[in-house]
Amino acid sequence: MKAVRALVLTGFGINCQDELAAAYRLAGAEADVVHFNEWLAGTVALRGYDVLNFPGGFSFGDDLGAGKALANKMRFCRLAGGRTLLDEIADHLAGGGFVLGICNGFQILVKTGLLPNVGGNFAQEVSLIVNDSGQFEDRWCHCRAERPARSPFLKDVDVLALPVRHKEGKLVVRDAAIRAAIRERGLCALRYCDAAGAIATDYPALPNGAEMSCAALTDPTGRVLGLMPHPEAFLSIYNHPDWARRREAAGGNEEGEGLRLFRNVVDHIRRNRP
């Protein structure tokens, strides 16, 4: 059977690429870590990959706002044939491919217009701005998957414990029409909650003040997913500070909860190949 292939970007301050590649490999896929410039120069092509990944980090030091500079590169820099990287991603999605962005990667996707993309024209409709606390939040939180799950990454996911590591994670929506579309079409894929699954409305369970308590967005196709928490940082039960009790509750299972997202998408791609 043909292997599922993941392209994991790095460079310009991205720094979570190794953990993200490890997540796909543990899920049974192949993963290549590629510098952004290799894609831009045409030495690496997106064609042939199943999942394009934007890891966390601090692209361009977040000097224009988190993810904005790299989003501009994707929108405006031209490949040798005159196409942009956004054109390449549009073709990737039209061919059934997936895109994942985590933390800074999520910020890149919203500022490129890939999320939530309710208008279908890659115009920026939401943003991620400075947390209400005004500080960098580096701790564990809980997220609840919305039902039904539009994204295959979140199949059969209920409440997840995941770490957050961000200062600009507050989702804000451009206008009431976009907000209504997100709600009506089920595009708010994960919402911050407490350990029991009750939606968080106050700090610290809501770490950033995001509208709709939103921790993740998907697009209308379900094939683009962006989230602020880091599933690639919870691949083993031993990543969690309360690992002993969690391992006992899981009957000795040593997998971290974040690994489920990657197993889900790899299995989905395998099952649905022609």
Model confidence band, residue 61 (pLDDT cutoffs 50, 70, 90): confident
Residue 80 has a pLDDT of 83
Q: How many residues does the chain have?
A: 274
Burial (0-12, 13-18, 19+ Cβ within 10 Å), 227 = buried
Is 214 an active-site residue?
A: no
Question: Rounded to whole angstroms, how far apart are CA atoms 226 and 77?
Answer: 23
Residue 65 has a pLDDT of 83
Q: Which residue in the list 16, 103, 143, 214 is annotated as catalytic?
A: 103
For 174-189, the pLDDT digits (tens) are 999 999 999 999 999 9
Q: Does the pLDDT at position 63 exceed 80?
A: no
Stretch 74-86: mean pLDDT: 91
Residue 1 has a pLDDT of 75
Model confidence band, residue 19 (pLDDT cutoffs 50, 70, 90): very high
Is 232 an active-site residue?
A: yes
Is 230 an active-site residue?
A: yes
Q: Which residue in the list 92, 142, 166, 230 is annotated as catalytic?
A: 230
Question: Rounded to whole angstroms, how far apart are CA atoms 140 and 229?
Answer: 9
With 0.75 as the threshold, say if the pTM is over it: yes
Model confidence band, residue 64 (pLDDT cutoffs 50, 70, 90): confident
Q: Does the pLDDT at position 33 exceed 90?
A: yes
Residue 13 has a pLDDT of 94
Helix (H) or strand (E) holding 190: strand 188-193
Q: Does the pLDDT at position 224 exceed 80?
A: yes
Residue whose tokens read 């089920």: 186
Q: Which residue in the list 193, 232, 257, 268 is annotated as catalytic?
A: 232
Q: Quickly list H helices, 99-233.
A: 104-112, 176-184
Q: Domains (ranges, CATH) in the chain?
A: 5-271 (3.40.50.880)
Residue 215 has a pLDDT of 98
Q: End-to-end CA distance of the chain: give it in Å, rounded.
A: 11
Q: Does the pLDDT at position 217 exceed 90?
A: yes
